[in-house]
Amino acid sequence: MFEEIGTTAEGDLQINVGPQHPATHGVLHLVLTLNGETIKKVEPHLGYIHRSIEKMCESLTYRQFSYVTSRMDYLSSHINNNACALIVEKGLQVDVPERAKVIRVIIDELTRIASHELWWGAMAMDLGAFTPFFHAFRERETINEIMEETCGARLTMNYIVPGGLMMDIHPNFQKKVKSFIQLFRSKFDEYNELVTGNIIFQNRMKGVGVLSPEDAISYGCTGPAARGSGVKCDIRKLYPYEIYDKVQFDEVLETGCDSFARYMVRLKEMLESIKIIEQLIDNIPEGEFQAKTKAVLKLPKGEFYQRVETARGELGVYIVSEGGTTPYRIKYRSPGFSNLSALDHMARGSKLGDLIAMMGTLDLVIPDIDR
Amino acid sequence: MTNEELKLKITTLLPEAVFEEGGEWLNVNVNATAWPALATQLLHEPELYFNYLFCLTCIDWKTHLTMVYHLDSTQYRHNLVIKIKLDTNKPEIETVSNLWRTAEFHEREVYEMFGVNFLNHPDLRLLILPEGWEGKNPLRKDFDDPVNMIRL
Amino acid sequence: MLSFSQIASDVDQWLHKVCSPTWALVFEMVIIGVSVIGLFAVLGLVLVLMERRVAAWMQIRLGPNRVGPQGLLQSLADTLKLLVKEGMTPGGSDKFLFNLAPFIAMIAAMLLMAPIAFASNFQIWNINIGVLYVSAVSSLSVIGILMAGWASNNKYSLMGAMRSGAQIVSYELSAGLSILTIVVLSGNLGLNDIVLSQKDGWWIFKGHIPAIIAFIIFMIAVTAETNRAPFDLAEAESELTAGFHTEYSGMKFALFFLAEYINVFIVCAIGATLFLGGWMPFHIGNLEGFNHVMDYIPSSIWFFGKTFFLIFLIMWFRWTFPRLRIDQLLNLEWKYLLPISMFNIILVTVVAIMKWYF
């Protein structure tokens, strides 16, 4: 596994980035071929936290398997759970109460903001600025507190069950979310002042890691990584689920194709998420938070596929059912895996420092890649 | 294009294709030998233009393996599912990584998890599993690891 | 009045009274050596604590506040930890160079202490080419870094060292040229003489625009020369893990760490000496009364106050700016700073010849 790496036949330096490295945000292992500081090849070696979630899910029931997915892309765990619930509901043809749908969407968007906040801080840290990380965490903490009050967990929420929600929202929920919106709006300009407008930062980001729209589609890039190249790929718009077809929001598209475009997409996406929450927070319908479902769920024989938009891109859940209580085969099409595959293409010919910026803007979460 | 139109179009391209309906998307069963030519047409035919391969995976049915390709078109937004039956003992299929670059990683994943051999793949090596796992395919149904696998 | 120069001359007289001049000299050297090492240790502790507090303040957190009153003993505890840590030498490294490198870095920093005027008439070595000495010795520190990077047998270290080499050699030029502007203005090479030439006002005020340009370039260049963010490419945590000192641990790492902070102190001391009048109190032209009031504040306080102000500036840079890329770093030097400094030298020469400064 740890083969000796040294220099190539052409005399280029080979270097290990990771599996333990400050910029890989986890245990990603890249083998770089460098000519001086210029990157000639990036070769990802994955699997350091591969748990074979797909195999695991084959022995978990339809009520259990969604909890494992919280550990996949842990920064958008609620959205992963949502995908699992949606696919089971699709198979069982359960009507989810409106109240549950609205709350799901609000929490989805809160999760997205929290994820982008963390990304923003970590991205600045990759570029050598430490301070934004703490500023981002100040706001993220508020979201985590809301989550904690709502479902008892801060990161891996597991708030969703097939048919609705595990429990109703906390009485303080609306008040706290509104105060968060206020806090976020007041601090958002600070983000631009601290990072976006900085000349060093812009020089590090602009024209770096160029990914053409054709390549983005061909490499299967989704989410902000593809929207930075101007590719329309927001599942919330294209294949609406829950109540995304009833809320007003814009799909953020940038045409820069570089790291800066991807950066701007994520920043603006936070504002769009806030917009969605603002529309819904006062209009949570009264009623049940959970549909009546059987204790033991059995999906009919067949194949089901559900696509959702996580903070990183398109998550696909593919279930092949044989009619039993557990899936026969389950496949998670994770956004990070496909986004990572474009890294080699993007990084060739750029400098070592740029690679870190690119990895930052792809927003890699390693468990999401390895599953 | 709607599923019906897709069905007609694909029948003209490949008369022996077998369709499966009932699901959300049109499923097409194809032969492994006919697949490379069909894949090229699916991508390059201007009316179809399936340029986005959003999922590539494999299913082990114990008697045979099935490759599943989920295709989407960013222009027309129609979807298609291609299924190809493979022999369990000697699973071999032509790569599509030259058409959809995302397939390169996904095929490597399928290669190590199911042991499917992708012909003409540029770099068919283990991606997720560490060295020494060649030939052992964890997502096959007959794979057993009494130490590390937890049964519920 | 009790002042540093008073203490120094008292000690000198007493030593000459009790023993022969040769022995007196030897004793004085020992005293100086011990005080310099003591100052090093104290400065290291103070600067590390200051950096952490400044960082915490900018990052909306508290910083060290548990060890000792207000966390003042935190860096002492850290030093203790580093002292008892095992000093590891990686396999395949050049052991001699590996162990030598931190000392080279340290000694280069120590040597720079010699010509600095800490207070009026209080200087280790009043060398008449102090400015030249400073620019010559400060470039020695790159040898320590290159040595560390090469001897570690680690690719990250090597890349960090190479970056650092390119960076320090380039920025040496701008730093040197901006120092030259003050030499041109004051007509002196000795640091104490330069301080004395600012009796009627600091050069940053007297020297018009060229001095301000030189000051800004000097601050940028010394930030780069001391390998601090936004020019910390040699250690670039997110790219090269820790750059040239990746393989160092324990006290050897602490020496590099200390040398970095001492270097920051020294470049800021030199910046304060050249542009902000060193130990010279704030004087305005011939306003006798005002100048006299200012003289009541001891010269050492003026010196340390100015130096720590500049250190704060450098820390401020570190905790707000992202890091540059290596090619951008060299572009900044060779395409912008160097031509500007050269033009500035011409400008300042004209100013000096025409006596346009105050």
The CATH number given to whatever domain includes residue A191 is: 1.10.645.10
Band of residue A297 on the pLDDT scale cut at 50, 70, 90: confident
Residue A4 lies in a domain: no
**Amino acid A72: pLDDT:** 86
Domain annotation covers residue A3: no
* C207 min Cα distance to partner chain A (Å): 29
Task: Name the more confident of A183 and C87.
Answer: A183
Tell me the C-alpha to C-alpha distance, in Å, between residue A66 and each of A83, A86, A169, A326, A327: 8, 10, 20, 12, 12
Provide mean pLDDT across the span A278-301.
Answer: 85
ipTM (interface pTM): 0.88
The band of A1, judged by pLDDT with boundaries at 50, 70 and 90, is very low
pLDDT at A146 over 50: yes
Rounded CA separation C50/A51 (Å) = 44
Closest chain C residue to the Cα of A202, Cα to Cα: C322
- Would you give the DSSP letter of residue A75? G
Handedness of CA C269, C271, C273, C276 (dihedral sign): negative
User: What would the pLDDT profile of B14-65 be if each residue is shown by its tens digit?
Assistant: 778 788 777 778 888 888 888 888 888 888 888 888 888 888 888 888 888 8
Contact C239 A124 (CB under 8 A): no
Residue C112 vs residues B150, C105, C314: alpha-carbon distances, Å:
65, 11, 19
Closest of B90, B89, B8, B75 to residue B43, by C-alpha: B75
Mutate to test the interface with B, among A50, A89, A218, A232 (most CBs of B within 10 A): A218
What tokens appear for C124 in the block?
A: 């280790």
Question: Residue C358: what pLDDT?
Answer: 64
Check contact C-A (3+ Cβ pairs < 8 Å): yes
What is the identity of the amino acid at B49? Y
Query: Residue A2 pLDDT more than 50?
Result: no
Could you report the per-residue pLDDT of A59-80, keeping only the tens digit for each? 888 888 888 888 888 888 889 9
Between B22, B77, B139, which is nearest A55 by CB? Answer: B139
Report chain B's terminal Cα–Cα distance, integer Å: 44
Contacts of A134 in chain C (CB under 8 A): 59-61
| Sequence letter at residue A300 | P
Alpha helices in A127-258 (DSSP H): 131-151, 173-191, 199-205, 213-218, 224-227, 235-238
Residues of A within 8 A of B51 (CB-CB) are 217-218
| Start-to-end Cα distance in chain C | 32
Encode pLDDT of C148-164 as tens digits: 888 888 888 888 888 88
Domain containing A288 equals: 13-370
Residue B151, pLDDT score: 66
Q: How confident is residue C65, by pLDDT bands cut at 50, 70 and 90?
A: confident
Q: Which of A60, A302, A307 sits opposite B23 (nearest CB)?
A: A302
* A274, B51, B85, C66, C197 from B40: Cα distances, Å: 43, 10, 19, 67, 81
Total Cβ atoms within 10 A of residue A166: 15
Mean pLDDT of C268-289: 81
Residue B152, pLDDT above cutoff 80: no
pLDDT tens for residues A107-141?
A: 889 999 999 999 998 888 888 888 888 888 888 89
Closest CB from B24, B128, B131 relative to A50: B128
For residue range C284-337, list pLDDT tens digits in order.
777 777 777 777 778 788 888 889 999 998 888 888 888 888 888 888 888 998
pLDDT of residue A308 exceeding 80, the answer is yes
Q: Are strands B26-30 and B79-87 parallel, antiparallel or unpaired?
A: parallel
State the CB neighbour count (10 A cutoff) for residue C36: 15
Which residues does chain B have within 8 Å of residue A218's beta carbon, measured at their own beta carbons? 51, 100-102
Structure tokens at C325: 């890329």
The residues, ordered by sequence, that sit 6+ positions from B140 with a Cβ below 8 Å of its Cβ are B60, B113, B114, B115
Number of domains in chain A: 1
Contact call for C237 and A201, based on CB within 8 A: no
Cβ <8 Å between A21 and C319: no
Domains of chain B, with CATH numbers?
3-119 (3.30.460.80)
Longest dimension (CA), chain A: 69
Tally Cβ neighbours within 10 Å of residue C291.
17
Per CB distance under 8 Å, which residues of B are interface residues toward A?
Answer: 22-25, 27, 51-55, 57, 59-60, 68, 70, 74, 77, 81, 100-102, 104-106, 109, 127-132, 138-139, 149-152
pLDDT in tens, C18-57: 888 888 888 888 888 888 888 888 888 888 888 888 888 8
Q: What pLDDT does C91 receive?
A: 78
Residue C117 burial (CB count, 10 A)? 25
CB contact under 8 A, A131 and C59: yes
Question: In the prediction, which pLDDT does A4 show?
Answer: 59
A242, A106, A78, A269: which is closest to A173 by C-alpha? A106
